[in-house]
Amino acid sequence: MSTMLRALSLLAALLCAAPAGAVPASRNAPVPVSSGVQYELVARWDVHRLNQILEADTPKFAGVRVAYTPARNGVKLYRVTYPSVLPEKSNQPTVASGLLAVPDTKATSFPMVSYQHGTVYGRHEVPSFAEESPETQLMIAQFAGQGYAVIGADYFGLGVSQEPEGYMVKASHQQACYDLLVASRSVLGDLKLKSDKLFLAGWSQGGFVTMAFLEKLESAGVPVQAAATASAPLDLFAAMEGFLDFPRPNDAVWLNSIFILSAFSYENYYGVPGLARSLIADDYYDVSKKAYDRQPFDPAAIPADLRKLIRADYFDPHYFANSAFGRLIAATQAYRWVIKSPVHNYYGEADEAITQGVGRMAMTYAQAFGAGNPLVEAVSTGPTTHRGTFATVVPQWKAWFDGR
C-alpha cells in the first residue's frame, strides 16, 4: 500500500472509530487569561519520554537515524485556545488552538521557537495534540527538552477549530501563528514566565507557513533572531507546475492530496464557488470532498495518478496559469520580499515532494538583488527524503539557534 493510502486508511479508520471533533479529556480545567485566551495543562513529559522520542520514535517515523542531543529536563505541555480572525473572510471572528511547551525547570525566561507543522490528514495530528503529531514530538524533545519554550499553531480547521481547513491559505496561516504568539506570551505572563528571543522553524507545508509568518512579523516590526525551514514549498505554483508537466520518477504518490486540500480550501476561504469541481475530475470529486471534510471514505478510491484525478485542461501550462485556481496558486508564495532576518532554507536532494529548485527559491531570489541579500541561505542536507530532511535538520536548527 502506498504512503498516501496508508495515511488515508488510518484517517478513515479514525473517522469511523470516533465522532468528528472529539477532544481528548484534559488533565486540568482551562485557565482564562485576558481577551478570550485560555490554557490548560494536557501533559507532562519526563526526560525518559523525551529521549524515547529522540532515540526510537523519530527514527521509526522518519526512516533515518540521527544523532540528537539528549533531553536535560522534563516539559509541561499546554493547549492554548485563543480568538483570531479569518483575513480572507473580512476578518470574521474565530477560535483557534495551539501548543505551548514549557521546560519544567526553575528558569523563568526561555528562548522561544515557533514551530509550524507540515501537512496532516487528521484534525488532531497537530501541535496541541502532541501525542498524535510525531513531528511536534521531535521539536518538543529536542528544543523544549533543552530549555526552549516551543509554540505551534494548529492552523484554522485543525485542532479545536470548527472552521473548514485553510490549507496553504497564506493570510490565515499568518494570522493563526501571529495570534498564537501573542496569546502564548500572555500565558507565559500568567505563569510568571517570559521569553527573551524568538526563532521560527517549519517543515514542508510548515516551511511555507514559517516564511509567510516571518514576512508578517517583519512587517509588524517584531524581532526574529532567525528562521529555518525544511523541505519548504516556497512557491506553490512552481511546485504544482512541476507535478503536472515536469514530473520526476521519484515524485511522491501522495502529492494528489496537495491539490485536493488546496482546491477545497481556496474555494472556502477565497469565496470561489465551484473551484474544486473545476479542477477535480467528476469521478473523484465526491470522495475528494469527503477526504477534505474528514468524513469516512475509501482511500483506494482516490487515484495517485494526477492525470486521472485532475481535469485534462490543467496539464496545459497556459490554461493552468490563467485558471481561477492557477491564479490563486501563483499568489501563494513566501519569499518575494526583502528579508531582514537570518534565514536558512534546508532541502533534501532525494526529497520526493520538494525539488531542489523550489527549496532554493528564496536564496535565488535574494541573490538577484544587486550584490545579493546575504541573509538568506539554502542549505543541502544531502540525499535525504522528505521526512529524512526534517529529521536531519532539527539538530542543525538547534545548533544554529543556540549560537544566536
Neighbours of 322 (CB within 10 A): 11
Cα–Cα distance between 162 and 92 in angstroms, integer?
A: 13
C-alpha cell at 6: 496508508
**Max CA distance (Å), the chain:** 61
> Is residue 172 within 8 Å of residue 81, measured between CB atoms?
no
- What does each C-alpha distance from 235 to 115, 145, 260, 294, 397 come to in angstroms? 20, 33, 17, 26, 22
Half-sphere exposure of 79 (CA within 13 A, CB side): 26
Placement of cell 474565530 in the chain: 94
Cα–Cα distance between 152 and 115 in angstroms, integer?
A: 5
3-class secondary structure, 211? helix
> Is residue 280 within 8 Å of residue 369, measured between CB atoms?
no
What DSSP line would sit under 303-353, residue for residue?
Answer: -S-HHHHB-GGGGSHHHHHHSHHHHHHHT-BS--S---S-EEEEE-TT-SS
What DSSP line would sit under 59-84, residue for residue?
Answer: HHHHSS---PPPP-S-EEEEEEEEEE
Per-residue pLDDT at 28: 72
Per-residue pLDDT at 27: 53
Per-residue pLDDT at 13: 38
Evaluated on CA atoms 145, 185, 88, 366, the torsion sign reads negative
Per-residue pLDDT at 15: 35
Neighbours of 26 (CB within 10 A): 13
The Cα angle at residue 274 between residues 85 and 205, in degrees rounded to 5? 50
Secondary structure E strands in 87-135 = 92-103, 109-116
Neighbours of 312 (CB within 10 A): 9
3-class secondary structure, 2? coil
Q: pLDDT in tens for each of the 404 residues of the chain?
A: 334 444 444 334 333 333 333 333 345 789 999 889 999 999 999 999 999 999 999 999 999 999 999 999 999 999 999 999 999 999 999 999 999 999 999 999 999 999 999 999 999 999 999 999 999 999 999 999 999 999 999 999 999 999 999 999 999 999 999 999 999 999 999 999 999 999 999 999 999 999 999 999 999 999 999 999 999 999 999 999 999 999 999 999 999 999 999 999 999 999 999 999 999 999 999 999 999 999 998 988 999 999 999 999 999 999 999 999 999 999 999 999 999 999 999 999 999 999 999 999 999 999 999 999 999 999 999 999 999 999 999 999 999 999 99
Evaluated on CA atoms 71, 75, 81, 82, the torsion sign reads negative
Burial of 282 (0-12, 13-18, 19+ CB in 10 A): exposed
> Is residue 102 within 8 Å of residue 76, measured between CB atoms?
yes
Q: 269: part of which helix (H) or strand (E)?
A: helix 256-269
Amino acid letter, residue 293: D
Evaluated on CA atoms 288, 118, 342, 241, the torsion sign reads negative
Per-residue pLDDT at 396: 98
Cβ partners under 8 Å of residue 295, min gap 6: 15, 20
Per-residue pLDDT at 2: 38
DSSP structural state of residue 294: T
Amino acid letter, residue 19: P
> Is residue 142 within 8 Å of residue 269, measured between CB atoms?
no
> Is residue 37 within 8 Å of residue 187, measured between CB atoms?
yes
3-class secondary structure, 378? strand
Neighbours of 400 (CB within 10 A): 18
